[in-house]
Amino acid sequence: MSGTKPQSPTIAIFNASTGLVESVEPVVRSDQEWKRALTPDQYRVTRQKGTEPACSGELWKHKGKGIYRCVGCGTDLFRSGGKFESGTGWPSFFEPVSPLNIRTEADRSLFMERTEVLCARCGAHLGHVFDDGPPPSGKRYCINSIALRFVEP
């Protein structure tokens, strides 16, 4: 097997622009690489599971039409059509672009039990999801503005 490179594992991610599921490599970086790629606040929120203060993020009241992508790797996460005003002070969405593009984990920090939302491709902490959202999903994805980058079509 000399000269053959082992294949990297891939994951399925939905591309909102093409409407297709693509096979992509996970984004894995060292702590130092993340610190160079992100601002200190982006790093604190996405890599250290922090949060931005309520009503402080630039995308909290954002009304543009387009896609909200992961600030760490550019994965499509939420559509503007799925955004709603939750009154919480953070951007809120009732569904992701695709369940493939996010993953969730139990979060028992701060003496609470919540469900953390992470980017499926790079593992960035995005925020939390709650069961008190509007129809059709009944979900409220409460996401840190600083973990997102907005892109118009």
- Looking at residue 127, its pLDDT comes to 97
* CA-to-CA separations, 130 to 93, 94, 125, in angstroms, rounded: 11, 10, 15
**Tokens describing residue 95:** 């569904």
What is the average pLDDT across 138-142?
A: 98
Among 70, 119, 122, 142, the active-site one is 142
Note the CATH architecture for domain 52-153: Beta Complex (2.170)
For this structure, is 73 an active site residue?
no
Write down the residue that tokens 């907005």 correspond to.
Answer: 150
pTM of the model as a whole: 0.92
Beta-ladder partners of 84: 92
Check if the beta carbon of residue 139 is closer than 8 Å to that of residue 60. Answer: no
Read off the pLDDT band of 123 (50, 70, 90). Answer: very high
What tens digit of pLDDT does each residue of 23-56 get? 999 999 999 999 999 999 999 999 999 999 999 9
